[in-house]
Structure 1
Amino acid sequence: MFRTLQLEVRKKTDCVVQSIEQKGDTISIKVDGHKVFWGKLVYHTFIVEFDPLSQKGQCECYKFESAGILCCHTLAVWSYYRVDTIPSCYVIPRLSKNVIHKHTYIKSGHDVARNDESDNLFRHLCSEFYNVSQEFVSCDEEAVILRAALCDAKSKLTDYRASMCSTTVAATQNTMPI
């Protein structure tokens, strides 16, 4: 997604703000974009509705609404109006580099930095759970007992984590200078 947005930022240089028309609180802006298609320059005009107070923009290409990526036309309008910070409504949490992913079975090239010990522990626990659940899934009563045990274990672990967090906070508060 970063590379796709990076491409839109590059394409922004091919966009030119042509005309501006005030429509109530919003401004309707015509943006001409050009690209080379089969060796010829092809021009397209898009209209971006821009609200200068909230700094929100909506382009008629609907790239953000359909793909979750800001289009070069909106970026060109923001550049024209010197908007230097992207409004938070355009930052999709699942696409952020700060998103916390849970363990998955699918490895990728981005997993190099992942703690191997944590990964091994995760896979071992999954294997154990798989073996236990496979053994007791055929009987409804046993499956109910297993599910209750899992809920109980999750509750105990949640309580343990909360107590560890409160202990850490209390220890930090005791060591802070006044």
Structure 2
Amino acid sequence: MTNSVFLLVHPMHSCYEMKKQFQRTYMTAKFKKFQRELLGKISCDLSSCKKGVDISKDEVAEDVMFEESRRCVTFNVCFHKDTSEVDCNCRLFEYRGILCRHQIVVFIHKKLNQIPDKYILRMWSKNVKISHTEVRISYDNGAMKSKACCFAKMCNAFYEVTELAEDSEDRYEKVMERMYELNISFKEGSCRSNEDISKVHQKNPTSCANGFGIPKESINILDPSKRRPPYKRKQSKVEKVIKKRKESKKKTHTTSNKENMHKQIDESVEKVVV
């Protein structure tokens, strides 16, 4: 579903920028859950606010339906000024990954139009890249994709580094520093483009397969649709006894039904003759 079609199907009834932010990013099902919380803020009210140097503690009162009556429940919300993060004791975001209505009330009260990136989870994004799409599939040598091959090679190399660094604090800190530096440099656009990577693989097309330690003879894999023929699992003695009892019960039940039918027929015939 494109963004234009999505906006037509789910029109924006509020002027909050945070709703537009989630609508552009989240999938339909998760956006509906956020929209439910946004509408639920109508039953919430900011009752008190205690401002500190770095943290302000707010109390949000919500009218909750309990059986046939309404009750006022108070939730404690902490707002961190440095990071613009909001913590609520209802723990909806921690358990479900969706901003709760109490957090939304505090965000609106603090006049924060844009929600921090922490609360926009990558797993609910419409443009998320699923990891299993990067798995190398090689039914034959020509089916191997350079992108998936590079992904798998990097994973294998990183696994080796983590095994060497997991027992040492110094190595762990060095790995994390390098990862942080690489992350920043790649985000700034200093990494090579996909075209450069594809050129490298065109020059040496067998480098990916050999990088995994797979011999050339085993690159060609049989078609997975050609499975082995079906077979019967070996049954234990207990299973065989239970199966025989069930079969005997079925036979006795069918024979008894037949006898009853014959008796009914005979009785009906006798009545007609009389």
Report the Cα distance in structure 2 between the residues aligned to 1:160 and 1:5, rounded to whole angstroms: 34
Q: Report how far residue 97 of structure 1 moved.
A: 1.7
More strand by share: 1
Residue 30 of structure 1 pairs with residue 30 of structure 2: no
On the 8 A contact 2:63/2:70 being kept in 1, the answer is yes
Q: Does 1:14 align with 2:43?
A: yes
Find the partner of 2:127 among 90, 95, 98: 98
Larger radius of gyration: 2
Query: How far apart, CA to CA, are the structure 1 residues paired with 2:60 and 2:48?
Result: 8
2:111 equivalent to 1:82: yes
Identify which of structures 1 and 2 has the higher relative contact order when contacts are C-alpha pairs closer than 8 Å and 6+ apart.
1
Structure 1's 92 and 10: CA in aligned 2 closer, same or farther, altered over 3 A?
same
- In structure 2, the residue matched to 1:57 is 86
Shift in alpha-carbon separation, 1:84–1:159, aligned structure 2, 3 A: closer
Q: Is residue 2:74 matched to residue 1:48?
A: no
RMSD: 3.9
SS of the aligned residue for 2:115 comes to coil
Q: Would you say 1:166 and 2:195 are equivalent positions?
A: yes
Instruction: Please list the CA deviations of residues 1-50 of structure 1 after superposition, one character each: whole Å capped at 9, or x if unmatched.
Output: 22111110001121111111124410000000113333422211001000
Structure 2 residue matching 1:31: 3-state secondary structure: strand
Task: Rate the CA distance shift 1:152–1:49 in 2: closer, same or farther, 3 A.
Answer: farther
Residues 13 and 76, structure 1, Cα contact 8 Å, conserved in 2? no
The TM-score, its normalising length taken from structure 2, stands at 0.39
What are structure 2's unaligned runs of at least 5 residues? 1-29, 151-192, 197-274
Q: TM-score, normalised by structure 1?
A: 0.59
Give, in whole Å, the separation in 2 of the partners of 1:160 and 1:40. Answer: 57
Task: Say if 1:103 and 1:160 are closer, same or farther in 2 by CA, change over 3 A.
Answer: closer
Q: Distance in 1 between matches of 2:46 and 2:90?
A: 15
Alignment correspondent of 1:157: 145
C-alpha contact (below 8 Å) 2:138/2:144 kept by paired residues: no
Q: Which letter maps to 2:128?
A: V
Name the SS for the 2:113 alignment partner.
Answer: coil
| Paired AA for residue 79 in structure 1 | I
CA contact (8 A) 1:50 1:56 kept: yes
CA distance in 2 between counterparts of 1:68 and 1:154 reads: 41
